Amino acid sequence: MCGIFLSIARNGPVLPDQQIVDALLARGPDSYKVLHVTCSTDNAQKIYLTFISSVLALRGEQIQTQPLFDEASGSVFCWNGEAWKAGGTKVSGNDSIYVWDLLLQATRARRIDRDRRISEALTSIAGPFAFVLYDAPTSTVYYGRDRLGRRSLLVNQCDDGSLTLSSISALHQNTECWEVATDTVHSLSLKSANIVPGILPWLKVPPAINKNLLNGSPPAFPSASSIEGLLQHLRDALILRSMDIPDHSHGQMQPDSAKVAILFSGGLDCSLLARLVHDILPREEAVDLLNVAFENPRSMAAKVSSTGGAYELCPDRITGRSSFSEICQSCPERFWRFVAINVPYAEALAHKPSIISLMYPHNTEMDLSIAMALYFAARGKGEVSEHPYDVCSKAKSFVSNARVLLSGLGADELYAGYSRHAVAFSREGFRGLADELGLDFDRIGSRNLGRDDRVMSHWGKEIRYPYLDEDFVRFSLSLPVWEKCGFRAGKSVPKHYEALGTASKPEDLEPAKMLLRLAMWQLGMRRTAGERKRAIQFGARTAKMDVGKGRTKGTDILTSAG
């Protein structure tokens, strides 16, 4: 994980303000470097480029500082990402050097082939990334994000004519800011009097959801081969994201510190990740399960006067402790830490301006309620207890030092986990469900990922999404929709399920995400296999926290006062 900043200006170098500097340092605490470059246009005007990179070192044996500079050509590279594979081959060691070498080779091609070679190199990379590349011989800046948009990169157009590309943006009135689109690679030619934008197409067609229709009735359940395929692809994705994490934490990691933590509501998606991580990591490595709950004055639970009562009655705390108990029973050899992150209302209000600034340009009430939960969860500051249901007086203060966070994001979009998916099926059958799933997956980057990256990376943590692994996504999209879920014509879909899984046999499982539920059932965690879907803002109780606002909707735009 890194922080990227590039300014392009005609009147002299433009450095970021202190708010941006602090945000970049928070994202990348292991190194921070500034590099100034000057280029000339065809009419001999000067353009000043200022590159800044901060680094959170999670690959290789040494910290690789950035920006990377090529003495021979004068080219510059800033990389914020994880190249897990390139051309289908696993990338070992430091991936920023590997990708830099790929791009240097591409820029040495004939000018007529250069754009295609650059696009070819970037298209070959599997993993999340955002990047800025300055090709000095052609005075061209290339920049972009991976197709899913798993890393943040923002464009800021300033009133003075300067332009910046940055992982984070200051919330200023005199700046127009937007997220870099992920449908192409972008370029800026600096040769003429005016900066000339351009685009480079990705060289492979992205996988699309399988919309083939049935000839006849679907099987009662997804097939055993689909369950095995899901488990194998998810294990492979987790191996890449949880193994071989170096310790460059400057002594913060203690002998019992976890390298990996899981954003843990106790729901199906995150619990399946935890169960599979147990099969992958050495038994002596601890795993932190980060469970967040808020004191919400608009909730009846906040009126509970007993110590910790408001938090322990949050839906995600209840399911979190239940799933934690089951995972301890299923995997007793592992040292699991359930980190109960309790956020008082006053503390949430104190951090609210920072959260609004971090998530910008997203600016709705729903954005804030989701971002607030992720922000405090990623901080990892809470209480731990030795047993699943030890609370209050038996708990001890604790801060998770894990620098890698695993998220279950993507499972709902791929496997029909939202209530609107059940509605789509009830109205138009599998065709309507396939259309709704395709829409959800296509917009996951613009709706979630850039915002979440900015909010959680603020704590010097890297968020990783096993369900959005390219191979796992390709497998999941290739499945017919009836293999993913238990929706069937003539079978009623209950509007509400019990908070805790109560299914006594697979036929009783909730039909949403049935393939994931059957995989969890097969792994022996049958109570968790029956857990219902709950949006984080409702499970952690961050929705509608402001007592002074009256009735609000998730789509309401935040006011200037926040």
Residues of the chain with CATH 3.40.50.620: 228-243+257-540
Q: Name every residue whose Cβ is closer than 8 Å to that of residue 549 and which is 6 or more positions away in sequence.
A: none
> 11 — phi, psi (to 5°)?
-105, 15
> What CA–CA distance (Å, rounded) separates 8 from 273?
42
DSSP assigned state of 405: E
536: pLDDT strictly greater than 90: no
> 508 — phi, psi (to 5°)?
-90, -5
Residue closest to 81 by CA, chosen among 167, 209, 173, 159: 167
Using CA atoms, how far residue 359 sits from 159, 205, 404, in Å, is 22, 30, 20
CA angle 150, 129, 364 (to 5 degrees): 30
Token pair listed for 210: 């399988």
More confident residue, 158 or 513: 513
Per CATH, the number for 2-201 is 3.60.20.10
Token pair listed for 249: 């934490």
Residues of the chain with CATH 3.60.20.10: 2-201
DSSP assigned state of 558: P
Q: What is the pLDDT of residue 110?
A: 84
pLDDT tens profile 100-112: 999 999 999 887 8
pLDDT band at residue 499, thresholds of 50, 70 and 90? very low
> What CA–CA distance (Å, rounded) separates 168 from 182?
17
Q: Which of 2, 78, 314, 485 is catalytic?
A: 2
Q: What is the pLDDT of residue 494?
A: 53
Q: What is the pLDDT of residue 502?
A: 61
Residue closest to 90 by CA, chosen among 61, 59, 45: 59
498: pLDDT strictly greater than 60: no
> What CA–CA distance (Å, rounded) separates 153 from 168?
7
Question: CATH classification of 228-243+257-540 is 3.40.190.10, yes or no?
Answer: no
306: pLDDT strictly greater than 60: no
At 164, which amino acid appears?
T
At 258, which amino acid appears?
A
DSSP 65-121: -SSEE-TTT--EEEEEE---EETTEE--S-HHHHHHHHHHHHHTS-HHHHHHHHHHH
Residue closest to 49 by CA, chosen among 174, 183, 143: 143
Using CA atoms, how far residue 444 sits from 80, 271, 310, 415, 553, in Å, is 19, 21, 32, 14, 21
pLDDT tens profile 111-128: 789 999 999 999 999 999
Cis omega (within 30 of 0) on the bond before 222? no
If phi over 0 gives left and psi between -120 and 50 gives alpha, with beta otherwise, what is residue 410? left
pLDDT tens profile 355-410: 999 999 999 999 999 999 999 999 999 999 767 666 655 789 999 999 999 999 99
Q: What is the pLDDT of residue 508?
A: 85
307: pLDDT strictly greater than 50: no
If phi over 0 gives left and psi between -120 and 50 gives alpha, with beta otherwise, what is residue 541? left
DSSP assigned state of 506: G
> What CA–CA distance (Å, rounded) separates 343 from 333?
31
Q: What is the pLDDT of residue 437?
A: 97
Q: What is the pLDDT of residue 301?
A: 46
Dihedral sign of CA atoms 555, 267, 540, 355 in order: negative
pLDDT band at residue 562, thresholds of 50, 70 and 90? very low
154: pLDDT strictly greater than 90: yes
Token pair listed for 359: 């998530």
At 453, which amino acid appears?
D
Dihedral sign of CA atoms 117, 119, 124, 130 in order: positive
If phi over 0 gives left and psi between -120 and 50 gives alpha, with beta otherwise, what is residue 517? alpha
pLDDT band at residue 9, thresholds of 50, 70 and 90? very high
> What CA–CA distance (Å, rounded) separates 555 from 399?
34
CB 545 within 8 A of CB 358: no
pLDDT tens profile 173-207: 567 789 999 999 999 999 987 889 999 999 999 99
How many CA atoms lie within 13 Å of 431's alpha carbon, on the beta-carbon side? 5
> What CA–CA distance (Å, rounded) separates 370 from 366?
6
Q: What is the pLDDT of residue 493?
A: 56
Q: What is the pLDDT of residue 500?
A: 44
More confident residue, 167 or 500: 167
Q: What is the pLDDT of residue 561?
A: 44
pLDDT band at residue 549, thresholds of 50, 70 and 90? low
3-class DSSP state for residue 273?
helix
Active site residue 2: yes
88-97: average pLDDT: 95
> What CA–CA distance (Å, rounded) separates 416 from 539?
19
Question: Exposure string (b/e) for 472-507, b if CB count within 10 Å is 16 or more?
Answer: bbebbbebbbbbbbbbbeeeebeeebeeebebeebe
Token pair listed for 461: 């943590």
Which of 110-124, 448-462, 491-505 is predicted with the least confidence, judged by mean pLDDT?
491-505
* Cα separation of the two ends of the chain: 29
Q: What is the pLDDT of residue 375?
A: 98
Tell me the pTM: 0.94
476: pLDDT strictly greater than 70: yes
DSSP assigned state of 181: P
Which of 135-139, 287-291, 302-306 is predicted with the least confidence, judged by mean pLDDT?
302-306
Q: What is the pLDDT of residue 153?
A: 97
Cis omega (within 30 of 0) on the bond before 361? yes
SS3 string, 522-533, reads HCCCHHHHCCCC
